[in-house]
Amino acid sequence: MTHPSRALLSASALALLLVAAAPRAQAAGFQLREQGAGAQGQAFAGVAAGSADLTSMFFNPAVLTRFEGTQLQLGFSNILPSAKFSGGAASRSGIPAASPLSAISGSSSHANAAESAVTPTLYAMWSVSKDLKVGLSINVPYGLTTEYDANWIGRYHALRSHLETLDITPTVAYRVNDQWSLGAAFVARRSKAELSQALDFGYTAYALIRQIQANPAYTPYDPTFSNTNPLTGQPIVTPGAADGSAFISGDAWAYGFKAGVLYEPTRTLRFGLGFQSAIKPKVKGDVTFSIPSTVGAGLAGLAAVNPTHTATLAYINGAFTASTANGPVSAEVELPACITFGANWEVSPTFTLSLEADRTQWSKFQELRIKFANPATQPDSYTTENWHDTTFVSLGVACHPGDGWTYRAGVAFDQGAVDDAYRTPRIPDADRTWVSLGVSKQLTKTFALDLGYSHLFAKDAALNLSGGTPAGPDYFKGNLSGTYKNAIDIWALQARWSF
């Protein structure tokens, strides 16, 4: 037999490689509950009270006292989300609807914007003594990938959004007596993010020139500066004629903790309470602007018809150059605290009933703000989120007929974190209902396999964003409305060894 420590090291290395290579997908908000196939089969009901296998330590570290010896668990979840956009309409802020410059061109519908993902998990535990257990888990607790075509009508709000996280969590649990166990864990989390969106350089310049021409309080005020081609009578710089883009990427390490308690009043009834702290990574990275050739042509055209307005031309050129400078950026996103309650009742030797109720503190996610190195020329770019706390409730059953087989089923309600007024294309979140099934087979005394499946029925999600005023963060992104039809399928498979 392979030595246990070597098997654990080999499996850990494999899991780390899988995590590094795996894309991410959206779950509730952008939280990924998919942390184990056994628990998946009953919609994670009772997992905080140890209804599952070592997966339970992710939700409540105290449950480690329920397991004996040395154990290893390696698995993955294949998450297949769908977010289809239709009935879209988009217009520019500050331009009357009757103007031909108001409407934003592009496709008013979009095929699936959510990317599928394979997210791996690894759990290991060692029994130091009958009452003292230590463990290690590697998980992907949060993730998101949405991506849109370059020509869709919401391109100024979002093109690509990608968040991936990796938690490495050493854990310890102690059985105080036959009824009470306590647990704690240290969480080291690596976060990596990518964001991109189209930029309407044409509209930005158009609005700037109108300000220069019309506002005496504005420097430089230049009412004779022209944006008209004398041969055609048409604007030289016009909205939608010079789309560029911005791409931001960065990463960070941050740290937090978990704590939990397990109460077993009888041999057939258990209650568990777990807490995961908020973690606020400060992501540092870079921004890269893509500037189309039409920008240079427009600036040259302005210079050709305004040869004597050297100060104004220099101002426009300087403002554009400074505002599109590549360089370092940073962002802070508070990944929320979560409290989890679970209950398990072994009704008979062959039937178990489980309940789960979680509360996630998404209300801390009020905005997504990007800070630039030189705020005087590149002020913060931010998106208002205004999320609210969410509740997840599930009910599950497990049947153990014998011969090493276990069958599971569960249902759950998973509340979305965002209201219609603040939903964005980056995270088109909505309420969802889970229906889950699962099966496990103990193949030998030391080896078992688990398979779980869930289908998530999601409510249609309305999008109704307003560009607001020139001082607001979304003015140059424009107004955007439409509807998302969302659904998610999840398959999970895992293997369990005991030594």
Q: Check residue 28 and give its pLDDT.
A: 47
Q: Check residue 451 and give its pLDDT.
A: 97
N residues, the chain:
499
Per-residue pLDDT of the chain (499 residues; tens, 9 = 90+): 344 344 333 333 333 333 333 334 434 468 899 999 999 999 999 999 998 899 999 999 999 999 999 999 999 999 999 999 999 999 999 899 889 899 999 999 999 999 898 999 999 999 999 999 999 999 999 988 999 999 999 999 999 999 999 999 999 999 999 999 999 999 999 999 999 999 999 999 999 999 999 999 888 999 999 999 998 989 999 999 999 999 999 999 999 999 999 999 999 999 999 999 999 999 999 999 999 999 999 999 999 999 999 999 999 999 999 999 999 999 988 899 999 999 999 999 999 999 999 999 999 888 888 999 888 888 888 888 889 999 999 999 999 998 999 999 999 999 999 988 889 999 888 999 999 999 999 999 999 999 999 999 999 999 999 988 888 888 999 999 999 999 999 999 999 999 8
Q: What is the DSSP string of 389-457?
A: -EEEEEEEEEEEEETTEEEEEEEEEE--S--GGG-BTTB----EEEEEEEEEEE-SSSEEEEEEEEEEE
Q: Check residue 27 and give its pLDDT.
A: 40
pTM, two decimal places: 0.88
- Strand blocks (E) in 267-389: 269-276, 282-290, 327-332, 338-348, 351-360, 367-372, 381-384
Q: Is 1 exposed, middle or buried (0-12, 13-18, 19+ CB in 10 A)?
A: exposed
Q: What angle do the packed helices 310-323 and 201-214 form, to 10 degrees?
A: 140
The domain spans of the chain are 4-498
Q: Are 167 and 141 in contact (CB under 8 A)?
A: yes
Rounded CA-CA distance 429/425 in Å is 9
Q: What is the CA radius of gyration of the chain?
A: 27
Q: What is the identity of the amino acid at 487?
A: A
Rounded CA-CA distance 469/486 in Å is 31
Asked, as a colleague might, if the bond just before 220 is cis with ω within 30 of 0, I would say yes
**First-to-final CA distance of the chain:** 10
Q: Check residue 29 and give its pLDDT.
A: 61
Q: Check residue 24 and give its pLDDT.
A: 40
The secondary structure element, H or E, covering residue 214 is helix 201-214
CA quadruple 14, 340, 81, 455: dihedral sign: positive
Fold topology of 4-498: Porin (2.40.160)
CA quadruple 323, 324, 328, 331: dihedral sign: positive
